[in-house]
Amino acid sequence: MRTNILITGASSGLGKGMALEFAKKGHNLALCARRVERLEEVKQQLESLNPNITVSIKSLDVNDHDAVFKVFNEFKDELGSLDRIIVNAGMGKGASIGTGYFNANLQTAQTNFIAAIAQCEAAVEIFRQQNAGHLVTISSISALRGFRRAMTVYAATKAALTSLTEGMRIDLMNTPIKVSCVHPGFIRSEINEKVEKVPFIVDTDVGCRALVAAIDKEKPNSYVPSWPWAFMHYLLRIAPVSLIRKMS
């Protein structure tokens, strides 16, 4: 059992939802996010849900790369070890390239990919010291293709994250360190709450149960919820761009 689990971006959305599901299963949790007041609320909720677990929280902006290493190691020292680290923090700001929203696109690129590198570096350093651990990156079904408008940079960062994760998995083959990449389909969360028409979207609790089930299987790649994404991801790879345009 991966007793001690660290989740970034855990104050809301998928991060909070995964924390709730792991708490039900009896895992100790190390949770970090920028909004510490939100984390306090999550901590109280988790401890009420399962008084037998330890919940540690810390404020962290993942774009402060030095702080990422500091906070991860503080969590490790507090809990004694970190058995699984979930790189979840991200954002979905952005607009079509060349329409005056460079700063929004840049923020998404920095948070979703550059900051993810820092988190993976910090996580794998700890796992190498422990000679054990499970690194999980939360990518997206959008990693499979290019998308337009607000999705353009977002999808590109997720494709980069998927590739990064595969590279780490190859590098760590035949070691006690596992590496998994999870590709959520459309799950209702703060990042997409203003989007009205989304195909196959599921509620946060449904999506997070599927995420946790996939993470626990520790497969190299997973696509969740399994319906319809377990087979839909094959179709997306070969779909004509005219169809991809309609989806975004």
C-alpha–C-alpha distance, residues 194 and 203, integer Å: 14
CB 137 within 8 A of CB 159: no
Phi, psi of 202 (to 5 degrees): -125, 160
**Residues written for the chain:** 248
CA-based nearest residue to 17, from 86, 108, 68: 86
Q: From CA 124, how far away is CA 132, in angstroms rounded?
A: 9
Task: Confirm whether 154 is a catalytic residue.
Answer: yes
| Three-state DSSP state, 89 | coil
Non-local (6+) Cβ contacts of 24 within 8 A are: 49, 50
Q: Which of 101, 154, 223, 234 is catalytic?
A: 154
What residues are annotated to the active site?
A: 154
